Amino acid sequence: MAIKFDVEKLIGKLDIIQKTQIPFAAKQALKQYGFLVTKELLPAEMRKTLNAPDERGQPLPHTLSAMRYDVEGMTLKIMVRDKHKQNEYLYPAFYGGKPKYTKLQASIHKASDGMFGVPAHVNLRSLGKLTQYADIKRSYASQIANSLSGKNKSFDGGRLAVVSKRSKGKKKGGLQKKGDAIYRVKGSSVIRLFSLIDYPPTLSPVLPYEKFVKETAKKHLPSILQKSLQRAMASR
């Protein structure tokens, strides 16, 4: 997104001498605000809003450092760093839409004849299979994918069972009456790892970041610009 502003609208009427300093002062002010919003304000808001459905967890370190800014003239551009697309999952958090399609989801989709898996965070956490950031541990996600693809018949000391209305002809043991889901079956213990739904959910924005950036700009830019203009005038 880009932020442009009318200097006089922000800090009032300027005299001729002050106007000569506007390009320099505005660029410095935008740089200061760009640093403030990407390094402090947005990361702080992410810590408050980006968590797991059970309200536990925290953003990954590379999420907190994902934002970048650039100043061209009197325009500030704020963007998501897209190194190897590792931050793609932020777009649904900012704008809503479909969640990122992962390799694990691809395995679930194939094993359930086209359904989408929603992690059972409470159960996965009780099994110790979530990281401190409320993500499924990579090793466990890999085990699930391998089991679903048929590479490994055993799973976590037991087996995986997929119960899906789209695959009624498949053997599910005594799980036919349970809801559509992926279960870990270990002895008499049956734990749901994923609920299965027909289509990927449409997510609402968790952190509507353009609105957040614009509102914080209105709050912080006038004083930053005024101080920048004062410094520019003092150095004449």
pLDDT for the residue numbered 177: 72
Could you tell me if 48 and 119 lie in one domain?
no
Give buried/exposed letters for 132-159 (b at 16+ CB in 10 A, else e): eebebeeebbebbbebbeeebeebbeee
Please write the tens of the pLDDT for every residue from 120-159. 999 999 999 998 888 899 999 999 999 998 887 788 889 9
Which phi and psi (to 5°) does residue 75 adopt? -125, 130
Strands 181-186 and 116-119: unpaired
92, 77: one domain: yes
Q: What is the pLDDT of residue 55?
A: 66
For residue 20, pLDDT over 80 is answered with no
Residues 92 and 116 in one domain: no
Residues 165 and 217 in one domain: no
* Whole-number pLDDT of residue 41: 95
Neighbours of 6 (CB within 10 A): 8
> What tokens were used for 87?
């931050």
SS3 76: strand
What are the tens digits of pLDDT across the range 165-190? 876 555 555 676 788 999 999 988 99
Burial class of residue 194 (count of CB atoms within 10 Å of its CB; 0-12, 13-18, 19+): buried
Query: How many domains, in total, are found in the chain?
Result: 2
The fraction of the chain above a pLDDT of 90, given in percent, is 35
Query: Based on the domain organization, do 125 and 190 belong to the same domain?
Result: yes
Residues 136 and 151 in one domain: yes
Give the tens place of pLDDT for each residue, 57-106. 778 888 889 899 998 877 889 988 775 466 777 888 888 888 888 889 99
CA distances from 222 to 194, 207, 225, 227, 234 (A): 49, 24, 5, 9, 18
133-144: pLDDT as tens digits: 888 999 999 999
Same structural domain for residues 117 and 182? yes
Separation CA 141–CA 82 (nearest Å): 24
Average pLDDT, the chain: 83
> For the whole model, what pTM was predicted?
0.71
Same domain, 118 and 180: yes
Domain span holding position 31: 2-97+202-234
Same domain, yes or no: 182 and 206? no
Looking at the structure, tell me whether residues 136 and 83 fall in a common domain: no
Whole-number pLDDT of residue 63: 87
What pLDDT does residue 157 have?
Answer: 87
Same domain, 192 and 218: no
Mean pLDDT over residues 51-62, rounded?
A: 74
Same domain, residue pair 206 and 91: yes
| Rounded-to-integer distance, Cα 110 and Cα 153, Å | 16
